[in-house]
Amino acid sequence: MTTTGRPVRITDVAALAGVSPGTVSKALNNTGALRDSTRARVREAADRLGFVPDPDARWLSARRSYTVGLLSADSAGRFSIPVMLGAESALAAGRMAALLATSRRDPVREVFLVESMLARRVDGLIVTGRTTDPRPPVDLGGSDIPVVYAFSPSTDPDDASVFPDDAHGARLVVEHLLATGRRRIVHVGGRPHQHSSTERAEAAQRALADAGLGLAAPTLFGEWSEAWGRQAVDVLLRTRDLADPDADLGFDAIMCGSDQIARGACDRLRELGVAVPERVAVTGFDDWDVMALASRPPLTTVDLRLEELGRRAAELLLDAIAGRPHHGRELMPMRLVPRASTG
Amino acid sequence: MTTTGRPVRITDVAALAGVSPGTVSKALNNTGALRDSTRARVREAADRLGFVPDPDARWLSARRSYTVGLLSADSAGRFSIPVMLGAESALAAGRMAALLATSRRDPVREVFLVESMLARRVDGLIVTGRTTDPRPPVDLGGSDIPVVYAFSPSTDPDDASVFPDDAHGARLVVEHLLATGRRRIVHVGGRPHQHSSTERAEAAQRALADAGLGLAAPTLFGEWSEAWGRQAVDVLLRTRDLADPDADLGFDAIMCGSDQIARGACDRLRELGVAVPERVAVTGFDDWDVMALASRPPLTTVDLRLEELGRRAAELLLDAIAGRPHHGRELMPMRLVPRASTG
């Protein structure tokens, strides 16, 4: 290893011996016409630095590949694709190419793809996934190239991970609802036990507690779907008299776990004659344009800033490739997008 | 060029001269210890084949990179991403890695990205885009690596292109509507003047003409949005008496240009009390799950088979890399997906 921690390269040996990389190659491979003194000087430099030539790719190892692997465990790609496009954009600006590989949540396929990328001598890996649930570190088979986990953090807290700050997003939503005069907020979450579900639910309760309030009803968990949003509204309004336009509904805002859930909630409220946002404010999460903008009314929601997240992952990786590795988890702050569903 | 049309490689020279590629390199670079007769034989073979060594990458040129470039002009990626994932999957099965690059519809960026891929010695390129409108061929700057256009065909009819058969999809829809008893079909298209819009509209009319029928109203073009689907229903029903449940609406089926349009149409029909599919059948196009399945009722639609299209593009490219180039345009047949919106 050099003093900066990266593996010794043929160019390091060349610099120390005062010769070209081509001469180093010839000296160590016993090819070409070289003076014995040159050959000896190169070997001494290689020994001092601990340089181990790879017999299969002596020439390739002489240079960085300027290529980074983008490994996604996702197949649908709604979250991973913006992350990868952001990373690709930042890498291209740094003159690095991006090798794409999708494991489709198949661990055997992942091992094969990582081996394939290592054989192509990628300078580093960005690993992304389908949810923000932590995932085990990739198996590098002994290689020490840097890896950054984007969107799905590594279970190893020492690995470099950057992922969305769900708690921040939930707090932004609650503070926005309070600032616009809502006091009796209910929360309709997505699938239970997922990191993003529990994180958002807990953060919403903390933000309300900070204002001396609580949720107006226990959180309802279900699915990440419009149908669940419609169904949750029926559950919340089960015992209410909807014929009376002044009846107390028990809540004045529904904070939903996704734009799909929020869109379903808006549809059902409209069908039941409950005006959004006048009587009930509704918020989404994700800022997924085809849902948030097509909703009636358009949704106040939270932008996960996935492209920025991908760009940040690329920056962390480029730093590590340059010998300045990052460690630990970094959270990407979210951004509130106010629209008509909260008035 | 060799007889199969691909560029001459160092391995071709080696085979003709009866030596190893390493010997070819030494002979042409005037390095290493070789007999003069060997050096002469290699030079003669190189001359006969017209082999031009690249001084910057003599060793790399000796081998294929087993890497293919995936270039997308799209940034949102709803159509291009499934195409690229299908291609990546087929390439990985062929032990080829995929270099990802997105030009975001910026021609200057595209030139830069293509140069960057050529510098990495990709064995070929797959080019995809945002619509099925033909696009100009990529500028390879003199390189003759094979290129396959996927989803967005090349304007050069001699280039290998594979793209969705919109006319086939439209015919599948019309035949399905006729088979389920509909006779008075109207067509609500997306943006006018786009290849997919005009192709589908014309094919629908041809399919109806084959059955001795015509459209029940002139085609309405607008946007690829739910709002346009709702608005188009209002236009179609403007002069009708909706209070009378037996009134003649003038049509019994709406063939929509996309799932978003169809979903909007279903929503508006439901709000106006017109039962789908009992009174009016509605069809989509794209089989985009979040639209087609969330629609009430779920949409009968057409699957563009984008992953298969990407896989087919990869097959065409692998053939070309192996010396069996394809030329001309190939259409990917679509698949009807019947659901509740047509009964």
Residues B121-163 pLDDT 10s: 899 999 999 999 999 999 998 888 999 999 999 999 999 999 9
Of the candidates B77, B227, B290, which has its C-beta nearest A81's C-beta? Answer: B77
Size of interface A-B (CB pairs under 8 A): 82
B299-331: pLDDT as tens digits: 999 999 999 999 999 999 999 998 999 999 999
The values of phi and psi at residue B337, to 5°, are -120, 95
Of the candidates B81, B102, B116, which has its C-beta nearest A97's C-beta? Answer: B116
Contact B251, B185 (CB under 8 A): yes
Q: Which residue blocks in B272-333 are alpha helix, DSSP H? A: 289-292, 306-321
Q: What is the mean pLDDT of residues A211-235?
A: 97
Position A16 confidence tier, pLDDT thresholds 50, 70, 90: confident
Shortest CA gap A140–chain B (Å): 17
Torsion of CA B93, B97, B103, B107, to 10 degrees: -100
What pLDDT sits at residue A1?
Answer: 44
Q: Which of A61, A290, A299 should be substituted to probe chain B, the one whose Cβ sees the most B Cβ atoms within 10 Å?
A: A290
Q: Is the pLDDT of residue B276 over 90?
A: yes
Q: Is the pLDDT of residue B60 over 50?
A: no
Q: Identify the closest residue of chain A to B29 by CA–CA distance.
A: A32
What pLDDT sits at residue A57?
Answer: 41
Q: What is the mean pLDDT of residues A91-119?
A: 87
Q: Which residues of B touch A92 (CB under 8 A)?
A: 101, 112-113, 116
Residue type, A326: H
Residue type, A183: R
Q: Which residues of A touch B117 (CB under 8 A)?
A: 97
CB atoms within 10 A of CB A273: 10
Q: Which residues of A touch B67 (CB under 8 A)?
A: 99, 120
Shortest CA gap B33–chain A (Å): 6
Contact B291, B221 (CB under 8 A): no
Per-residue b or e along A173-183, where b marks 16 or more CB atoms closer than 10 Å to that residue's CB: bbebbbeeebe
Q: Which residues of B touch A294 (CB under 8 A)?
A: 225-227, 260
Q: Is the pLDDT of residue B4 over 60?
A: no
Interchain pair B70, A260: CB under 8 A:
no
Report how far residue B259's alpha carbon sits from residue B285's, in angstroms, rounded to the nearest whole number: 5
Report how far residue B255's alpha carbon sits from residue B189's, in angstroms, rounded to the nearest whole number: 8
Contact B251, B280 (CB under 8 A): yes
Joined together, the tokens standing for residue A85 give 């496009």
What pLDDT sits at residue B77?
Answer: 74
The secondary structure of residue B63, as a DSSP letter, is: S
Q: Is the pLDDT of residue B112 over 90?
A: no
Of the candidates A85, A113, A291, which has its C-beta nearest B75's C-beta? Answer: A85
Omega within 30 of 0 (cis) for the link into A297: yes
Q: Which of B85, B267, B293, B311 should be substituted to probe chain A, the one whose Cβ sees the most A Cβ atoms within 10 Å?
A: B85
Q: Identify the closest residue of chain B to A264 by CA–CA distance.
A: B294
Instruction: Name the percent of chain A lying above pLDDT 70.
Output: 93
Which domains are seen in chain B, by residue range?
Answer: 10-62 (1.10.260.40), 67-163+306-333 (3.40.50.2300), 166-304+338-342 (3.40.50.2300)
What pLDDT sits at residue B52?
Answer: 64
Q: Which residues of A touch B33 (CB under 8 A)?
A: 32-33
The values of phi and psi at residue B104, to 5°, are 50, 40
Interchain pair B100, A98: CB under 8 A:
yes
Reported ipTM: the value is 0.78
Report how far residue B99's alpha carbon sits from residue B324's, in angstroms, rounded to the nearest whole number: 22
Measured CB to CB, residues of chain B less than 8 Å from chain A are 31-33, 59-60, 66-67, 70, 75, 77, 81, 84-85, 88-89, 92, 95, 97-102, 112-113, 116-117, 120, 225-227, 260, 290-291, 294
Of the candidates B84, B99, B294, which has its C-beta nearest A99's C-beta? Answer: B99
Q: Which of A67, A75, A85 should be substituted to probe chain B, the one whose Cβ sees the most B Cβ atoms within 10 Å?
A: A85
Q: Are strands A301-303 and A335-337 parallel, antiparallel or unpaired?
A: antiparallel
How many CA atoms are closer than 13 Å to the CA of A253, on its beta-carbon side? 26
Q: Which residues of A touch B128 (CB under 8 A)?
A: none
